[in-house]
Amino acid sequence: MFERLMASIMEAEGRGRMEDTDSVAARGDPGLPAATRTRVLAIEGNIGVGKSTVMDALKRRYANTEGVVFLDEPVDEWRERGFLDRMYKDPSCKPQFQHMVLMSLAGNLLKALAAEPRPKFIVMERSPWGNYHVFGRTNLTGDDLEMYKYTWENVLKGVPAQLDVRYIYLAASNPAHLVPRLRSRARSEEDVVGVDYLTKLEAAHCDGWLADEPNKRIVDGLGEADAVLAHVYRHVCEWMNELPVA
């Protein structure tokens, strides 16, 4: 699994040398052209790989860019309501939790798409498209998984088909390196999360759902923070510049 992942990262980097953070920041962005289709960028990856850090950096960078909307994964709300704690402590809660997560992600996306004027570029922290493949198939089995898949398929039928969806996958070739990150952010609910579970989630990303996805870019999420952000900025700028002009 991880040999294939690292080969994919090296191939992606081979398409062009990445700029360092200072040069990317100094260059600035050309601005977002008008679009006929909303492009959705999902920041995907394992628990603790740095998705929220990337989201915060992109919010600062594009704070004044018209037509860009950010959708955070509402983990704080799940924690406040005790959902995350119950999911980890009581396995019988996992089916309800996965349905709740799916509805949270899809609902926030649909709300953003219903806004006037409609956004040109939506950046999501995780997405409904990968929810079944990664967390559904990792956490559920049997009838629970079958019912969740049915819900997932029908929810996605309600998402506009004309969206242009892209992915940035923050890869963790050695999931054991994520454990210190989880402990340092001190979410008590995640104390039970170990290497075995993180390894399963990583495999669900890189060997399963995203393995043959053409509209993805892979970034080494275990790299130095400045390098990770420079890679992400490059891909986001590339995709923004591709948007058609009205």
Taking the C-alpha atoms of residue 142 and residue 130, their distance in angstroms, rounded to an integer, is 19
Mean pLDDT computed over every residue of the chain: 86
Nearest to 38 by CA among 182, 185, 159: 159
Q: What was the pLDDT predicted at 241?
A: 82
Encode pLDDT of 47-85 as tens digits.
Answer: 999 999 999 999 999 998 999 999 999 999 999 999 999
Encode pLDDT of 76-133 as tens digits.
Answer: 999 999 999 999 999 999 999 999 999 999 999 999 999 999 999 999 999 999 999 9
* Range of 2-11, 40-49, 235-244 with top mean pLDDT: 40-49
Instruction: Write the class of the CATH domain 2-242.
Output: alpha beta
Encode pLDDT of 154-204 as tens digits.
Answer: 999 999 988 999 999 999 999 999 999 999 988 899 999 999 999 999 999
User: Which residue ranges make up each domain of the chain?
Assistant: 2-242
Q: How far is CA 137 from CA 167, 198, 203, 205, in A?
A: 20, 14, 11, 11
What is the value of pTM for the model shown?
Answer: 0.84
Q: Are 137 and 127 in contact (CB under 8 A)?
A: no
Mean pLDDT of all residues in 205-211: 87
